């Protein structure tokens, strides 16, 4: 699997990473088999997927706990571990972000809040350092907590050896520039799929110009691009797909029509539709790392095949054109 450096950190990772939001379960993702989740993580390591990503808020700490169980069964040095701070439900500080499972979650990137998050994450994960530490969601009110204050605390954590690289998730270009001005930012995390390419317009060019990795999430639109959703599928109340644009029935039909047109590509490369879309994502830029979720052995084993596809530039451009037509039909 292709190796790419994470920003300027000196840390090298495979171009494909394992996202562990779903492993947290709860109302977002439903009940999980934690033992299977652990097996999935360990199988991913064996297949070369060494970057494991989570967040303090995923499953309200449960995702980190499950990863911690997996880490006990392997050599910590095999793993590039990232988690995120700044979404807290412990007190009423910050700005309210959402309410879930009886918890009111607030965005709080104050030095006190992110320090508390770090210590809780280290305990849950059973490790004494985090390889990549992200701020999860930025302040709703610009400047409520100045980026320089947040970055100052992150740099102190780095000096202490508790984190190795600094990242920011869900940023706009203005805030991204603030992070770069304030300190050493190596990676950002933002959505990018063949059906949602907004990050290409501003974030990606800035990252490429400044040596920053863009770790992309939702490359298969939370399962839609796997091609298994029926045209009449309706997400359940409270599920993560509820209210998402591409999960409207009209848009599911449009996506399925596009995917049906790629049968010759799946036959040519002997791969799944998900493999095609993940590989496509990785070809957008050499500064991209693709984040894919999995909580079953079959999922991680299929996902791992994606980077081995010898996709031609011609097929890459054809997929982009087909997706452009689908985006034009979106309602």
Neighbours of 64 (CB within 10 A): 26
Q: What are the backbone dihedrals phi and psi of residue 5, each rounded to the nearest 5 degrees, phi first?
A: -75, 145
C-alpha span between 21 and 100 (Å, rounded): 15
Contacts 24+ apart (CB under 8 A), 195-204: 195/221, 195/224, 195/225, 195/246, 195/255, 195/323, 195/326, 195/327, 196/221, 196/246, 200/284, 202/173, 203/171, 203/173, 203/176, 204/284, 204/285, 204/287, 204/288
Residues 6+ apart with CB under 8 A from 1: 14, 15, 16, 48, 49, 304, 307, 308
Does the active-site annotation cover 129?
Answer: no
Q: What are the backbone dihedrals phi and psi of residue 289, each rounded to the nearest 5 degrees, phi first?
A: -120, 135
Query: Residue 161 gets which letter from DSSP?
Result: T
- Indicate the SS3 state at residue 81: strand
Q: In 3D, which of 167, 199, 162 has the Cα closest to residue 180?
A: 167
Residues 6+ apart with CB under 8 A from 287: 4, 204, 207, 208, 212, 213, 214
Q: For the chain, what's the residue count?
A: 331
Q: Which of 58, 134, 179, 217 is an active site residue?
A: 58
Show the beta-strand stretches assigned E in 60-149.
80-85, 87-88, 95-100, 103-107, 130-135
C-alpha span between 116 and 265 (Å, rounded): 48
Residue with tokens 């997706």: 323
Which residues are identified as catalytic?
Answer: 58
């Amino acid at each position: 699997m292709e190796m790419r450096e994470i920003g300027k950190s000196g840390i090298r990772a495979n171009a494909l990473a394992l996202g562990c939001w779903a492993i947290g379960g709860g109302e977002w993702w439903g009940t999980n088999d934690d033992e299977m989740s652990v097996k999935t993580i360990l199988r991913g390591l064996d297949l070369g997927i060494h970057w494991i990503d989570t967040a303090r808020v995923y499953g309200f700490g449960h995702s980190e706990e499950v990863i911690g169980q997996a880490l006990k069964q392997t050599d910590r040095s095999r793993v590039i571990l990232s988690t995120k701070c700044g979404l807290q439900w412990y007190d009423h500080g910050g700005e309210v972000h959402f309410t879930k499972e009886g918890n009111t979650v607030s965005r709080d990137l104050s030095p006190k809040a992110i320090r508390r998050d770090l210590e809780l994450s280290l305990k849950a994960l059973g490790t004494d350092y985090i390889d990549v530490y992200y701020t999860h969601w930025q302040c709703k009110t610009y400047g409520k907590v100045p980026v320089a204050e947040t970055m100052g605390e992150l740099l102190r954590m780095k000096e202490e050896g508790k984190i190795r690289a600094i990242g920011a998730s869900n940023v706009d270009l203005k805030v991204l520039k603030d992070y770069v001005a304030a300190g050493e930012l190596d990676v950002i995390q933002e959505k990018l799929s063949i059906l949602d390419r907004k990050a290409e317009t501003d974030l990606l060019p800035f990252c490429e110009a400044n040596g920053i990795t863009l770790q992309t999430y939702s490359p298969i639109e939370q399962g839609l691009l796997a091609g298994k959703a029926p045209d009449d599928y309706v997400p359940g109340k409270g599920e993560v797909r509820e209210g998402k644009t591409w999960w409207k029935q009209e848009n599911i039909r449009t996506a399925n029509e596009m995917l049906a047109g790629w049968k010759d590509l799946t036959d040519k490369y002997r791969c799944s539709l998900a493999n095609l879309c993940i590989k496509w994502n990785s070809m957008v830029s050499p500064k991209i790392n693709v984040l894919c979720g999995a909580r079953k052995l079959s999922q991680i084993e299929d996902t791992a095949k994606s980077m081995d596809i010898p996709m031609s530039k011609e097929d890459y451009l054809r997929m982009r054109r087909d997706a452009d037509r689908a985006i034009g039909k979106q309602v």
